Amino acid sequence: MAANGEKKTFHLGGLPWWQAAAAIVLCGIAMYWGIQSSSITGTLCSCFALAVVLYELGERLPVWNSYIGGGLLMAFFGVALLKYFNMVPEKTIDSINFIISGDEVNLLELYIVFLIVGSVLSLDKDILLKSCVGYIPAILGGLVAASVLGVVAGLIFGVNPTTTIMKYVLPIMGGGNGAGAVPLSNIYETITGDAAANFYGFAIIILTIGNIFAIIGSATLNTVGKKFPKMTGDKKTLVRGGENIARDDAKIKTNMQDMLGAMVIACGCYSVGRIMSKKILPTIAGASIHAYAYMIIFVVILAATGLIPASVRAGAKRLQSFWTGVMGMVIMVGMGADFDIAELFTVMTPGNVVMALMIVIGAIIGAGGVGYLVGFYPVDAAVTAGLCMANRGGSGDLACLGAADRMELMAYAQLSSRLGGGIVLIIASFLFSFWL
């Protein structure tokens, strides 16, 4: 019963269940009868028919919703399984691949652009400037230590260091799914010509394993902090003896004009990335630099200088929230439609599990150690700069900070997922060019 005495109504996708079910059935009939159009409209109808059901299942299924990846990952694996068992018409699969990740339309690229711009611009300027001095070294410390331990574990299981870095360390430490594994896959496709789903399919599995270990590691670090109080602060501050600079952003009202301004800024930032990567400076030291890397650098500069009006930055965050909250499930349907699920059974090996565990342990040791050297509490630095790099991004940040009882450190966690993920993308642009 609701607080006001009224019965709660079961909703699906924001609609009363019977309305959502009716829309899904109609879209599904057109899809399975083969009469749905292959246009962007018809394809989105098919995508939502698949996405809403699978997403809600993933969000409500015990264990899966808390530890495996929830609705988004269910949308990905669910469609991949339906494709594997020929339960989705081939025409639908082809149109989804064309619209979501094809060269001519590519909604995936639009999704990535709005996500990157919105997430970086929404960071508070003071947090961005004051924290980066010591926080970026802590992130890099976690990344280096994760790479070292990952390579050592890889050698034990016969995996060469190059493969370990590219297929294990980068996906786990990439800042999550939408801002990490997805753009990494896109960079991989651009440089190698191989399908992004071939990289993503393995990356998301390794990232999922790493996310589970990151959550367990966060709970363990909370216990360490209780036993050794000098290693942690008040669970609200990162800097030893400093005041809490990770304050909440001001509540700013936005309108459609602010969202329009955010879209214009996003298009401009994307164009800067294209201009730099295609004309002005396509390579550095022989390495091909992806447009996303240049775009991220430019967006960080805009956020740090404070040139963008606060209302537009809030509009960018609102725009990003729409794409991640609504279109995210559609993007995952597209990734699942382009993934061969048979590869899943070849990667869940003891070696992969142990390698993911060692990478997460490396993130803890590296971020905590370097964090201490730059004046941070080691436990809090390990949770935020380490484990919030090794989890599944926004949802992973919530899970890790909740397990560590440090929700007040969300601003730092977001720095890891956003700026840390951007650093990994820049590194990946170099490594993919040199090693592939």
Q: Are strands 15-16 and 287-288 parallel, antiparallel or unpaired?
A: unpaired
Query: 204-224 as b/e, with b when 16 or more CB fall inside 10 Å?
Result: bbbbbbbbbbbbbbbeebbeb
DSSP-derived letter for residue 376 is B
* Entry pTM: 0.71
Query: Rounded to the nearest 5 degrees, what angle is found at the Cα of 117, between the Cα atoms of 74 and 384?
Result: 65
State how far the Cα of 319 lies from the Cα of 308, in Å rounded to an integer: 15
Give the SS3 label for residue 222.
helix
* pLDDT per residue as tens, the chain (436 positions): 344 444 445 666 577 888 988 999 999 999 999 999 999 999 999 999 999 889 888 888 887 876 666 788 788 889 989 999 999 999 999 999 999 888 788 898 898 888 888 877 877 676 566 666 788 899 999 999 999 999 999 999 999 999 899 889 999 998 777 667 888 888 888 777 777 778 888 888 888 888 889 988 998 998 899 899 889 988 877 877 654 444 444 567 888 999 999 999 999 999 999 999 899 998 776 556 778 878 888 988 898 888 899 899 989 988 888 887 788 889 889 888 987 777 666 667 899 999 999 999 999 999 999 999 988 999 999 999 999 998 877 667 877 888 888 877 876 787 787 777 778 888 888 888 777 6
pLDDT for the residue numbered 343:
64
Write the CB contacts of 153 (distance below 8 Å, at least 6 apart in sequence).
164, 354, 355, 357, 358, 359
End-to-end Cα spacing for the chain = 58
State how far the Cα of 15 lies from the Cα of 156, in Å rounded to an integer: 52
pLDDT for the residue numbered 286:
58
